[in-house]
Each structure stands twice: as structure tokens, then as C-alpha cells.
Amino acid sequence: MPDNRVVVYQGPGKVGVEGVEYPRLELPDEVVNGLGLAKGAPHAVILKVVTSNICGSDQHMVRGRTTAPIGQTLGHEITGEVVEAGDDVLFHKIGDICSVPFNIACGRCRMCNEGKTGVCLNVNPARPGAAYGYVDMGGWIGGQADYVMVPFADFNLLKFPDRDQALEKILDLTMLSDIFPTGYHGAYTAGVTTGSTVYVAGAGPVGLAAAHAAQLLGASVVIVGDMVQERLAQARSFGCETVDLSADGTLSEKIDDVLGEPEVDAAVDAVGFEARGHGAGAAEQPATVLNDVMTIARAGASLGIPGLYVTGDPGGIDEHAKVGQLGVRIGLGWAKSHRFTTGQCPVKQYNRVLMNMILSGRARIASAVNATKISLDQAPEGYQQFDHGAARKYVLDPHGMVPA
């Protein structure tokens, strides 16, 4: 069998590439023992990983800001080529190149039947919902690897219609596993539509994806807020307005400078629980962005919250933050009749239509997020640069399949 390697969390601030067993068509012991399912997985496939991306959610683990144990495998953004298929896989064959939603879903439970694949009931005994290579998400091996197993393949995989076209556009298509649908979900659930004015908090890859999605949905003005100048410049590169949150002045004043009024029609939190306050050198204030979006969203607005919030944060600023209990001004949101959408993006609701947008040339998500390919061996360097605020989306290319 081929060798297999995977990126592994080795302690706060440190990842490495380690050798692991080649995947089998079997479910993780955690799932088998916790849910009483059969070990064998004839419904699964083995993928040769074409691309796997470094995500900001991975960085929370690598910074030591979750309960992830040392040895946790990493990688939930996966695109791959089918190299082995179980006997029960009917609609995928060897050689197919497919996108893998980061949500692992059985396709059979009540939540899956309702389209809520981010909270599948049959893939994680700890809580609804699972993902590859993530703490408390079912024990599934990560996809920042040479090879990975994908269960319930007929339900989960999105096959690209043409192999050559897929490889030509792979830096765009690789974003379908997570950040493009997640950003789109943030903008869509915030109610972005033709002519909307939109504020996106955070110019990391998900924030940039949300900004590009807002443009595709017809927004008249998209404003992106961040403290990292390189990331703000990246947002401006595809037509967004920006506000520098490290500068003096309130967010409402900054919005007013752009729009002539201090409120927007829709707002997206693409930051999550490691948010900081405003101003140069501001300290961590985990509820900052949630309170910001309520402050600057008009009455009756919707708020999309794809930014990650956790139930366990060893590095939280106080005992409340360590269990995900934050100082959110819910009274403000109530008074303004705001609507909130939180949680994992149900990728399958969006990935096929977004694939069509990419293949037609309408969506240019790789350019928007500054997709940058690196080898699997360069993953530790990519994590370090990303953690220092690089305005790039790092795409791992384990087998050299990404065109130059």
C-alpha cells in the first residue's frame, strides 16, 4: 500500500507531518463504540488528496484554544480523487475528482433529511455533527494528508463533471469543501440581496469569502473590517470597502464615513471567539464582534454568524469565556428585532450551485482569498505564516496535482 502522512497538532503553536496508517473502509472506534454502528464501511471511499486547505478553525486548535489533545490529526477542507470504493458505493468510481463537505453526514437521519447536515445525528456520539480532523467531532482522521477515508460517499461527495476542467480550476474548487459555502451561508443568512449594504467582520479567508458571496448575491456596498493591513488590502483588491479597526473612532463612525449613515442592511461575523476589541494593541474581548454587528445592523436585520464559537476554551480570558459564556448584549439585538443564524454551515445546501458559479467563471473565489499552494511538508510553515496574519489561503498539494 502507499505510504500515508497527515498533519498533526503537536502542542500549542506546533504542528508536524507524521506517518500514519493507510486508511481503511472502516468507521472510527469512537463512532462505532459510541453509537453502536458496524465497523466496516462499504459505503465509504478512499481518496487520494488532491488539495486540503489550512483553515482558521484549525488555528484555534493549534493555538491551544480548544480541548484538542496532542496528536489530533488536522484537516477538514478536502478535495480528492477516488482510488478505492466500497461495495455499497453506487454513484462514484475510481478516478472521479470530488469535493468533500467538511460536515460528515449519514444522509439517513432526521437532520440530514431536513438538510441540516452540520448536525447529523449518526456520526459523533459526543454531540450532533462531525468533521474530519477536529476536536470533539467524532474521531475522524484529518484530510491534510496523502489519503483519507470518506464515509457515506454517495451522499457526501460532490463529483466534478469534467476531470481536466476540475484540475484547471482546482484552486477555486478546493474552496467548496468549507470556506466558500461557509462565507456564502453567512451572507445569505444575513439576508444579503440586490442593493444591500453589508458589513463583514474579519478579513481572513472566511470573511473574504463572505464578502465575495455578498457581491454575488447583489450587494451594492460590501464593507470589511479588520486590523491587519495586508488583509484589508486583499479585501479592496476585489472591490470591497474597508475599515481599519486598529484606528481611532467607533465602528458606527467608520460605517458612516463610507455610507453616509452609521448602519448597514446586513452584517456577518466571520471572526468568532478569539475576537479583540478596537484600537491599536487591543486586548481580547470575545463578544466584541457579536456586539458590533448588533450595533451597526439596522432594526429588523439578520445577522449571519459563521465565525466559530466553542464550548471549551482553555485560553479564555475568564472562567465564563472558558465555557463559551460571553458578554453578549442580547437586549440590544432583541430591541432591534434582529435574527441570528449560527452554527456549522450545511455545505451541501450550497456547494453544487457554487460549483456551477466557479465553472462558469462567475465566481473567482481563489483570487478573492489569495489562494496559495504549498506542499504537505510545508504545512508547518503555512500554519505559522497564517497565524501571523498572512492575507493568503494556504492550499496543501500533497501529490503535486495543482497546476503551476
Span 127-161, pLDDT tens digits = 999 999 999 999 999 999 999 999 999 999 999 99
Please classify residue 21 by burial: count the beta carbons closer than 10 Å to its beta carbon, then call 0-12 exposed, 13-18 middle and 19+ buried.
exposed
Set of cell numbers at residue 4: 500515508
Amino acid 281: pLDDT: 87
User: How large is the average pLDDT for residues 65-91?
Assistant: 97
- Residue 404 pLDDT > 90: no
Mean residue pLDDT of the chain comes to 97
Amino acid 81: pLDDT: 98
User: Which residues are CB-contacts of 123 (< 8 A; sequence separation ≥ 6)?
Assistant: 31, 104, 105, 106, 129, 130, 138, 140, 151
What pLDDT digit, counting tens, does each position of 292-325 carry? Answer: 999 999 999 999 999 999 999 999 999 999 999 9
Amino acid 225: pLDDT: 98
Please classify residue 268 by burial: count the beta carbons closer than 10 Å to its beta carbon, then call 0-12 exposed, 13-18 middle and 19+ buried.
buried
Amino acid 2: pLDDT: 78
Give the pTM: 0.97
Helix axis angle, 229-236 to 205-216, nearest 10°: 20
Set of cell numbers at residue 317: 480570558
> What is the set of domains in the chain, with CATH numbers?
4-178+346-396 (3.90.180.10), 180-341 (3.40.50.720)
User: Which residues are CB-contacts of 48 (< 8 A; sequence separation ≥ 6)?
Assistant: 80, 81, 83, 146, 147, 399
User: Which residues are CB-contacts of 297 (< 8 A; sequence separation ≥ 6)?
Assistant: 199, 263, 264, 265, 266, 267, 303, 336, 338
